[in-house]
Homo-oligomer: A and B are copies of this chain.
Amino acid sequence: MGVIVVEVMPKPEILDPQGKAISTALPRLGFEGFTGVRQGKRFELTVDGEVTPEHLDAAAKAAESLLSNPIIEDVISVRELGGEA
């Protein structure tokens, strides 16, 4: 079984209330030194057998059209699990 990882983040200019809430909570819980937090999504798409270039191509297209909202999000990476981030 092959696994493809798709990572999606909010566009930098987009307000990220969840990230903001976390970044204000961190110092309160004793975690100093972080200047900001952004929260996005991570998907694992499984395929039968090995991951092929065709699988990666389909995953990239699915990332753009189904797994992200192109108006407010960027697809950061589409890679085979264990591949370069």
Measured between beta carbons, the chain B residues less than 8 angstroms from A29 are 62, 65-66
Measured between beta carbons, the chain B residues less than 8 angstroms from A47 are 33-35
Please state if B40 and A44 are interface contacts (CB–CB under 8 Å): yes
**Cα of A66 to Cα of B48 in the assembled complex, Å:** 35
**Cα of A65 to Cα of B30 in the assembled complex, Å:** 11
Instruction: Specify the chain B residue showing the minimal Cβ separation from A55.
Output: B33
Instruction: Specify the chain B residue showing the minimal Cβ separation from A2.
Output: B35
Q: Which chain A residues numbered 53 to 85 have a C-beta less than 8 Å away from chain B?
A: 54-55, 58-59, 61-62, 65-67, 76, 79, 81-85
Q: Which residues of A contact B (CB under 8 A)?
A: 1, 5, 7-9, 19, 22, 25-26, 29, 31-48, 54-55, 58-59, 61-62, 65-67, 76, 79, 81-85
